[in-house]
C-alpha cells in the first residue's frame, strides 16, 4: 500500500511541476537595440539553457521567479529574474559591452616627423588575398551597367533609353540597388527561421503561409516587433484551421 501511495505522489508532483512551467519568448539586445547573436541563456534553477539565434531571439521553459543568466562573447554577464506574473509578450533583455583591459605597451621613437611620414608612405603591405592569375584570365569580363541620366535635349537618346534593352537593364539595376538596404532590414525581422519559431510551421506549409501573408518591406520595417509577431501568430492559427488535413477514417 505504501509503495502505491509513493508512486501516486511522485506522479502528481511531476505533473504539478510540468503544469507550472511556461514557455517564454525573448530577445537579447544591446543598449543601442542591436541584436546579440549566439548568446547563452541559462536557467540556473532548472539547469537548462538555450542559445539565441542570429538576431538574438530565443525561447525557454521557465517558472515564476526563475533566474536567467545571459552571457555572450564581448558582453558582461547579465541576470534576469522571471516575473511572478509571466508576460505573454516578447521579453527584451539588455546586455552591456564588456571592457577588456589591455596590457601595457611601449612606444618606440620614430625620429622626426618627416622620417615617420617617409616610413608610412613607403611601407609595403603584403597582399594576403592574391588571386591566381590563371583564374583571373579564365573569368569572363563583366561590366555593370553605368547609371546615367538620359539627355532630355536629345529625343533620340531619350527614346532609346526608354525602350531599348540596355536602357531597361539600367533602370532595373538602379531599382534593385535602391531597394537592397530596405530588403536586408526587412529580412532581419521577417524570415523563415523567425516565422517557424513563432508558428511551428515548416516545409511547404511554411512557404504557403509566408506567401499568403504577402507583407511589403515597408510594412515590416515600420511595424513594431510586438504587433508584427502577434499578427503572424494570429494569422497562422487561421491558416492551420483552413489547411488542416482531414483525418483518415478506416
Per-residue cell: 212 = 499568403
Beta bridge partners of 98: none
* Residue ending a domain, choose from 95, 110, 144: 95
Three-state secondary-structure class, residue 41: strand
Question: How many domains does the chain contain in total?
Answer: 2
Backbone phi, psi, residue 192, to 5°: -60, -40
Query: Is 91's pLDDT higher than 60?
Result: yes
d(CA 186, CA 66): 34
Average pLDDT value for residue range 38-49: 92
The answer to whether position 247 is within a domain reads no
Q: What is the pLDDT of residue 95?
A: 95
Average pLDDT value for residue range 205-217: 88
Range ranked top by mean pLDDT from 79-83, 120-124, 151-155: 79-83
Q: What is the pLDDT of residue 56?
A: 93
d(CA 198, CA 196): 6
pTM of the shown model: 0.37
**CATH number of the domain to which 72 belongs:** 2.60.40.1120
Backbone phi, psi, residue 139, to 5°: -70, 140
* Residue ending a domain, choose from 62, 79, 95: 95
The answer to whether position 49 is within a domain reads yes
Q: What is the pLDDT of residue 167?
A: 59
Burial 78-93 (b: 16+ CB within 10 A, else e): bebebeeeeeeebbeb
Three-state secondary-structure class, residue 197: helix
The answer to whether position 216 is within a domain reads yes
Q: What is the pLDDT of residue 111?
A: 62
Average pLDDT value for residue range 97-110: 68
Domain that holds residue 228: 190-242
The answer to whether position 76 is within a domain reads yes
Amino acid at each position: 500500500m505504501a509503495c502505491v501511495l509513493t508512486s501516486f505522489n511522485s506522479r502528481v508532483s511531476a505533473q504539478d511541476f510540468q503544469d507550472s512551467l511556461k514557455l517564454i519568448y525573448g530577445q537579447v539586445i544591446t543598449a543601442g537595440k542591436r541584436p546579440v547573436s549566439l548568446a547563452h541563456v541559462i536557467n540556473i534553477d532548472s539547469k537548462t539553457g538555450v542559445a539565441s539565434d542570429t538576431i538574438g531571439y530565443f525561447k525557454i521553459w521557465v517558472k515564476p521567479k526563475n533566474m536567467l543568466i545571459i552571457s555572450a562573447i564581448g558582453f558582461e554577464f547579465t541576470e534576469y529574474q522571471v516575473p511572478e506574473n509571466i508576460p505573454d509578450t516578447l521579453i527584451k533583455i539588455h546586455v552591456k559591452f564588456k571592457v577588456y583591459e589591455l596590457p601595457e605597451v611601449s612606444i618606440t621613437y620614430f625620429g622626426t616627423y618627416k622620417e615617420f611620414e617617409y616610413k608610412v608612405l613607403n611601407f609595403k603591405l603584403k597582399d594576403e588575398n592574391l588571386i591566381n592569375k590563371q583564374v583571373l584570365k579564365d573569368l569572363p569580363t563583366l561590366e555593370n551597367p553605368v547609371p546615367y541620366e538620359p539627355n532630355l535635349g536629345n529625343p533620340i537618346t531619350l527614346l532609346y533609353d526608354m525602350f531599348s534593352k540596355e536602357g531597361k537593364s539600367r533602370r532595373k539595376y538602379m531599382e534593385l540597388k535602391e531597394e537592397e538596404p530596405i530588403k536586408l532590414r526587412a529580412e532581419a525581422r521577417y524570415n523563415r527561421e523567425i516565422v517557424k519559431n513563432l508558428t511551428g510551421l515548416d516545409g511547404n506549409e511554411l512557404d504557403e503561409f509566408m506567401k499568403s501573408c504577402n507583407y511589403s518591406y515597408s510594412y515590416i520595417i515600420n511595424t513594431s516587433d510586438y504587433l508584427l509577431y502577434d499578427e503572424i501568430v494570429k494569422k497562422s492559427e487561421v491558416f492551420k484551421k483552413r489547411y488542416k488535413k482531414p483525418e483518415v477514417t478506416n
